[in-house]
Structure 1
Amino acid sequence: METVQNAPSTPSSYDWRAKVESIKKKASSLRDDRKQSEPEELELQLYTIVNTLENLCLDVKGLKSAVRDQDLNRLMKTVESAVHNQTQVMRDHYKVKANFKCLRDLYIGSPEDSKEDIERENGGLLKDSYSWILDHDDFRRFNNSPASRLLWVNGEPRTGKTMLLCGIIDELKKKPSLTLSYFFFRSTEDHQEDASSALRGIIWLLCANNMALISYVREHYDNRGNKLFEGGSSFTPLACILKNMLQDPCLRDCIIIIDALDECSDDTRKCLINLIVELSTSFPAKWIVSSRSSRVIKRKFRDAEGIIPLKVTKDSISQAVNFFIHHRVDEMKHSEWYDPKIKEVVLENLLLNANGSFLWVDLVCKYLKDCAPWHARKCLSETPPGVNELYKRMLRPILILPDGNDYQQILAKACIKGRPLTLDELPTLVPRLKKFSQETLKEIIGNCGSFLTLTQDTTIDFLHPSARDYLMENAKDFLFPDSTKV
């Protein structure tokens, strides 16, 4: 009978110690490579792998005399493969969690939520009020020509530019191959007034819709954490992140939209304009920017290649304003003082005096809504044409209120602060209000309803930027009767 002898184990045929050490190193490297702390559960799993392998060393050593080397080799390969797969799963798990943490730290507010808020505050988005721009020659040229990289929608205040951009966003979303990101500068949000906030919002929305892009943020974030996004020095790294991101092939067909560029804080607006010009010139991604007509912005945009200025005039939006008027008057049938005859009077008055201003129509409709039913005709007859004249008319009742001094101080503080106020800080700014409850404070703000609005039930801000402009330009004697008190 022939005796079968097992071949001696050699490094070339099988080295189980080296295999085990290799597996241990893989598990240990996963732990050592972590850039940020992970939950204790993951830490425990990592050490469990190493401890299990220590025990496996002893078990394998005991089995060596009873199992052929080829079987042992096959067993160890199976173990090595299983540990490798588990390690990869855990790496992926950590990467996903780290990506979402980075995305949360980047978050400063959802541009999508801002858009919905804007539409709701303006009574909803009506296609007939913005569809004219989709057929405009300048918009078609921008949309169809790869060489046209920057569309500058500009016009006087109160011509509905923000709602136009909301409509453009809705239309562009219908293109499945197009990547879209946007940001609305809003004075009602104190964290949405500078250039860094705009970049955070744009980058966040791009990453939220395509998490693969978060890697461009992680290149900077992993070494600096959430401090990357904070402070006055955050613009530079955020601009670098966006530049790198726009070189990704998946963003070749991309449009970035920024509304109300003129409302960006003065000290950072120049940096943002320069960046827009640079990126629109250097990368395939296109830009749509809206602002008031401004010589400063126009001068900056002259250096941009492929820029298309689209001027929003009262004539260009007159038909859209008329449709908006019909829509708002039709809504009156839900009012307690609705009457067909009143409806006709209101419609005629609005069509005659709107003068191409969405804001004027909106202010009048809100003003009428607050009128008693039996005063509706009288209120309408006293409504002057022109936004400034309307503000003057709306300021008059505040001037004669018994507590007019309180309202004067509230409006003055709102003008001076340059940011939204909160109900909680209002009594500190106007000490006479400390005796009032929150509900009473809300009623007081309601009496300033022609100028101020209460959002999210706690935040006080101007109904429209033009309201603050009017007060600062035309009501200084009322707001600041004694400059030593300001």
Structure 2
Amino acid sequence: MSSLPEDYRKCLRALKEKASTYEEFKNRNPDREEGTCQWVLSHTQYREWHDKEHHGLLWISADPGCGKSVLVRSLVDHELQTTDQHTVCYFSFKDNDEQNNVATALCALLHQLFSKQRRLFQHAIRAWDTNGEKLVQERGELWRILMAAGTDDEAQDVTYVLDALDECQPSDRQWLINMLSKFHQDSLSLPSSRRGRLKILVTSRPYDDIRVDFQKQIKDLPTIRLRGEEENERVHEEIDMVIRIRVGELKSDLGLDSDTAAQLQTTLLEMEHRTYLWLYLAIEGIKDTYRRSH
């Protein structure tokens, strides 16, 4: 590390201090079970965004408990890691002081990008010389650097993933939607001859204020929006698949007899409002009840 330029090391350290927990928060989500998240992974709109040969924005909206954050972890760890030349950077917003602002999100993305592609730090040198450690608060400069570095020909393919946009504080969220919309509009006019592609994927709940903010800027909104709330039947089928997996694990871990396991599975499958969050809480509750009674 001592051989690296001093400004690079200082900047990387400042970015990390601002956004130190991004990996920890991602890894709190469970791994995707095989066969799940197909409501996105096999969706035509996702496939078109993933495969297109130029820059692109995709907004995935879906109801609470549909597994958006599990999907994001899987995308970041697996599906988007297609080649050694593809750099994937991510951040998950949370409704707390640590993770609810755009500056922290942009610092997390830049820390990952510069860590993986050191040469792209050249796009931050002027801003770092001017602002020093205060750069981590300057969302406008951070966004400019993020766009310049991500569209650099030397960057190859880059994808930025932003999860749970609805949990970003309102003023920052509106600003970020404006920037994302501008990226989309600019991408329509950029030549596709450059070697790499910059893709951005955003997830959120399907809130009207987010839709309205996007629609003010993007007249062809349906072309960049995957409406997961219209895929609820498929989501429920996937949740049912996970229920069967979890009950099988409970049977093995807790030593349940076959009749008890079958009855438990039937009860869970008959619940009307099934979500991943509900299932997680239900399974944890069953484990706690079993431990207290044995």
**Which among 228, 232, 235 is matched to residue 135 of structure 2?**
228
- For structure 2, list consecutive stretches of 5 or more residues without a partner in the other structure: 188-196
Instruction: Say yes or no: does 1:96 pair with 2:5.
Output: yes
- Same amino acid, percent of matched pairs: 25
Aligned equivalent of 2:211: 298
When structure 1 is superposed on structure 2, of 354-363 and 334-343 the one drifting more is 334-343
State the distance in 2 between where 1:148 and 1:237 align.
Answer: 21
Q: How does 1:452-471 map to 2 (within 5 A)?
A: none
Partner Cα separation in structure 1 for residue 114 and residue 245 of structure 2: 37
- Larger Rg belongs to: 1
The answer on whether the counterparts of 1:102 and 1:218 sit within 8 Å (CA) in structure 2 is: no
- RMSD value over aligned CA atoms? 2.5
Determine the C-alpha separation between the residues in 2 that align with 1:191 and 1:174: 31
Is the aligned partner of 1:115 residue 2:46?
A: no
Partner of residue 102, structure 2: 195
Amino acid at match of 1:173: Q
1:113-145 superposed Cα distances (whole Å, 9 cap, x missing partner): 3322223xxxx3323222442211121122223
Are 1:208 and 2:138 counterparts? Answer: no
Matched to 2:186, the amino acid is S
For the residue of structure 1 that corresponds to 2:172, the secondary structure is helix
Q: Deviations over 1:420-469 (max 9, x none)?
A: xxxxxxxxxxxxxxxxxxxxxxxxxxxxxxxxxxxxxxxxxxxxxxxxxx
Instruction: Kindly indicate whether the alpha-carbon contact (under 8 Å) linking 1:111 and 1:205 is maintained by their aligned counterparts in 2.
Output: no
Distance 1:111 1:227 in 2: 20
Q: TM-score, normalised by structure 1?
A: 0.53
- Give the aligned residue type for 1:133: V
Matches within 5 A, 1:34-45: none
- Could you tell me how far 1:168 is from its partner in structure 2? 2.3
Alpha-carbon separation, structure 2, partners of 1:272 and 1:295: 16
- 1:358 aligns with one of 266, 276, 286: 276
- 3-state DSSP of counterpart to 1:152: strand
Q: State the shift of 1:262 in Å.
A: 0.4
Q: CA deviation at 1:173?
A: 0.8
Which structure ranks higher in relative contact order (CA pairs < 8 Å, sequence separation ≥ 6)?
2
- Tell me the distance in 1 between the aligned counterparts of 2:270 and 2:107: 44
Give me the whole-angstrom Cα distance separating, in 1, the residues matched to 2:148 and 2:9: 20
Q: Indicate how the Cα distance of structure 1 residues 281 and 180 shifts in structure 2: closer, same or farther if over 3 A, else same.
A: farther
- How many residue pairs match? The answer is 277
8 A contact 2:93–2:163 mirrored in 1: yes
Decide whether aligned partners of structure 1 residues 338 and 258 sit closer, same or farther in structure 2, where only a CA change above 3 A counts: same
Q: Could you tell me how far apart the structure 2 residues matched to 1:344 and 1:271 are?
A: 51
Task: Name the counterpart of 2:224.
Answer: 308
1:278 equivalent among 178, 182, 197: 182
- Change over 3 Å in CA distance of 1:354–1:364 after alignment to 2: farther
* CA spacing shift, 1:240–1:343, aligned 2, 3 Å: same
1:152-195, CA deviations, whole angstroms, 9 ceiling, x for partnerless residues?
111111111111222222211133332211111124x6321111
Residue 151 of structure 2 corresponds to which residue in structure 1?
A: 247
Contact 2:163 2:204 in 1 (8 A): yes
TM-score (normalizing by structure 2): 0.84
CA contact (8 A) 2:85 2:156 kept: no
In the other structure, the counterpart of 2:200 is 287
Per-residue deviation, 1:280: 3.0
SS of the aligned residue for 1:270 comes to helix
- Tell me the amino acid that sits aligned with residue 155 of structure 1: A
Shift in CA distance, 296/148, structure 1 to aligned 2, threshold 3 Å: farther
Give the structure 1 partner of residue 42 of structure 2: 135
* Partner secondary structure for residue 23 of structure 2: helix
Tell me whether 342-351 or 167-176 shows the greater mean CA deviation: 167-176
- 1:222 is displaced (CA, Å) by 2.2
Cα deviation for residue 252 of structure 1 reads: 5.3
Aligned pair partner of 2:142 in 215, 238, 261: 238
Structure 1: runs of 5+ lacking an equivalent: 1-91, 377-486
| Pairwise CA distance, 1:329 | 1.0
> How far apart are the structure 2 equivalents of 1:95 and 1:332?
50
Distance 1:192 1:369, change over 3 A: same
- Check whether the contact 1:152–1:308 (CA below 8 A) recurs between aligned residues: yes
Q: Alpha-carbon deviation of 1:105?
A: 0.8
> 2:57 and 2:260 mapped to 1: Cα distance?
46
1:182 corresponds, among 90, 99, 107, to: 90
